[in-house]
Homo-oligomer: A and B are copies of this chain.
Amino acid sequence: MTKRITIANVAKEANVSMMTVSRAMNNKKGISQETRQKILEIAERIGYRPSGVARALATNRSSTIGLVIPDVANPFFSQITRGAEDLAYLSGYNVFLVNTDENIDREKAALNSLLEKQVDGAILCSSRLSCEDLNKYIEDFPYTVLINRDLDLLVENSATINVDDSFGTQQAISHLVALGHTKIGLFAGPEESTSSQRRMNGYLQGLENNNLPIEESLVVSSSPNTNGGYQATKDLLSKRNDVTAILAFNDLVAFGIYQACEELEYSIPDDISVIGFDDIPLAALMKPSLSTLRTDKRELGHQAMQTLITLINNDEDIAREQTIQPALILRDSG
């Protein structure tokens, strides 16, 4: 490994001080056009690359952001990641991506490592940390944005962005009611999932809004996958053959509903309407095509990054608690 070319090399070659080179490289004022040009040419010629590490040490800014998510392999988070990274790129930041696997210890380890790396800010997605721990970390990071996680006390250096699952679910119910449905089933997801809880709230609220009774037997919990939907359908329809519509926890669950309905010879949407959640690519390909609630995850990631960068730069006041609305995509299933 040959020795690194430093700002001193450029300075000597150009017969100026390091400070002048620094000004030239960073487009700062207090330097004439000619010298700047000359320095930039020399830098280019001798292959000088500024050391981000040294700069970070000197300025106390790393131009680096931490993004903490449960699992990039999950399309939900990979899309958020994409939206966030795109804006980071445009704004001159690099992003550290960390997976937690919804494991608290791993999440803590991730946050600690980001703290050591001295990121300028962090975006935490679906954090599993206790409120106490979370608050401690928020204090330690310069700035933090939380996605899909509420916070009791919202401090100066943080903001939250949440998907309004409750509202989305209410929308879906209103749509189904408008179609004449009154016996609407809900396939709830894992109990510990906050989005599952929010959808449950939305479901109850939606029924109330439309003056429909709440019947416990219409709510079935299901694993968040195809098989979960299949099982839940068999389960529900064996008990309640008056059900005419089902809200699935997500599109895969909806696909499971399709499979069960085919077996049981229920027709979608004639006998049963189905509405999914997520709008995965498969949704449009299913037969009949699946109506579903889509949240723009890329936009979500973008908005989180935008918020974080605004906080960092302290440009302007920004909403501390933001919300993203899912959109009801109507297709053929209900």
A interface residue numbers (CB < 8 A to B): 1, 49-54, 56-57, 62, 64, 67, 71-73, 75, 78-79, 81-82, 85-86, 89, 94-99, 106, 109-110, 112-118, 140, 142, 226, 252, 255, 281-282, 285, 298
Contacts and interface: CB of A to CB of B under 8 A. Distances in A.
Contact of A51 (B95, B96, B110, B118): B118
A82 B117 CA distance: 20
A229 to B, nearest CB: 11
Contacts of A117: 52-53, 64, 94
A-B pairs, 7 with minimum CB distance: A78-B78, A97-B97, A73-B82, A52-B116, A53-B56, A52-B117, A94-B96
Given A94-B98, A96-B96, 6 more contacts: A49-B112, A53-B53, A53-B57, A53-B118, A73-B81, A226-B285
A118 B1 CA distance: 14
Given A1-B142, A62-B53, A89 B98 contact: yes
Contacts of A96: 64, 94-97
Contacts of A282: 282
Nearest to A282: B282
Given A73-B78, A99-B82, A51 B89 contact: no
Contact of A82 (B49, B72, B226): B72
Contacts of A106: 89
A60 to B, nearest CB: 8
A270 to B, nearest CB: 20
Nearest to A62: B53
A46 to B, nearest CB: 14
Contacts of A52: 116-118
A79 to B, nearest CB: 5
